[in-house]
Structure 1
């Protein structure tokens, strides 16, 4: 087993591991709601919708995180405004904003002398170049995400299950939806410059989706998603070390591969032992309103 531990004797790999664990925990908390609410397309759109802000900040010498935050905020605001229209479906609105923001970002980045490098860095990040300050930022993002997740838990469950009934119970689903969008934005913005949008989105969706196949309780889904993200990070770092592959992309690929293995195992298991088909939100909501 020495070969498994060998890469983690190097300092920059140790920092990459810590960063991956922190990102996994943040993404587990947020990604569970993204998966349960069917917001995967929105998460993808927001992760790539940051490109205009990042590109402008890069060309002007400004703060990349601030540029990403402003761009992601504009994307979230656009989704909220267009989402109120009865003439457009949510997917249509998100798709239009996604393409528009991504195209604008590529146009801006194309004026840079290092177009390919900038865009590659945005998509894949450089987890092996993580600094102590980056780890501190991720730790703060995790703390904020955990606090909001605990305080808004019941409202998030209501929002996932039945928005109209949430109104009657005074759970303020509009505010809950805004907080959820804020958490998605925070997870993406806090992590992209460290590990890239590809890895953030991979850890946001794949571990939570794999967990949903096995457990019904939302807290357990979050726990399993966190474990899955950490395992993906460790395996991805080891594979990247020995195969000399792009680290961020390798971690994301491992997370997706683990999801498909989980899906296959779950399908075989449920053929042998059929279980109920209630969703986690159904069970949580029925218990809270009973």
Structure 2
């Protein structure tokens, strides 16, 4: 059986590397994974050599959300890479005869928060709040216009917070806090968050490679299980074999302290809800996450522990 050629951008990243591993393991695909030396993602990048004969593109490369950066440069830089760079790649892909273009976008296109009992949905009106979210939204709009003009099928996938082996940033900090037994004043939080295990995200993307109902659609990616931060920390403790030490400090005190310290952004992430509804995935694709939240946390915790110095 002939293997189909898939171009994966961002292949060295957290999500891109997991995609490449699974695509290669399937035996059905020949994966092209350009390195950064092959050209920066921008409006002038020549993708022709990498696109020749490709059946599909999975575009995971991006300029990621950066906290506390210079706001004057932020929008222009995000737009240059995430919008102009994406559309340059997509136009060349369409010209090369690529059948399907999968764009790994972000839940930030929907917005930063959800209201209690009202999870965000894929077809809700977009409401991006920062430069990163705006640049991703603009790329999505351009891709869907390109699909209508050229016939190349586009699929947009917006993940929530992605975790898994090798995860960095705030999720890695939580793993370290729980492992060290650090007392955390988060036991009284009741806001709920959606997360997505990286292997669940990969499974959804691979489903979107071929499913006829995925063409020119937007999907949200999550584990389908929403948790409070205190529930998440307890589940991490279970995965690590260490009980999470949570203190029931009232949320209003946490919010006040964060504002006094000039960390309103941190207060939003800690105290706000961000839930998503993946019913569209089930209805159109027949897709459900193959791993539960606890299974994903167990795999993540095991990799974290294995990486510790002996």
Q: Which has the higher contact order (CA 8 A, sep 6+)?
A: 1
Query: Normalized per residue, which structure has more strand?
Result: 2
Please, what TM-score do these two structures have when normalized by structure 1?
A: 0.28
Please, what TM-score do these two structures have when normalized by structure 2?
A: 0.27
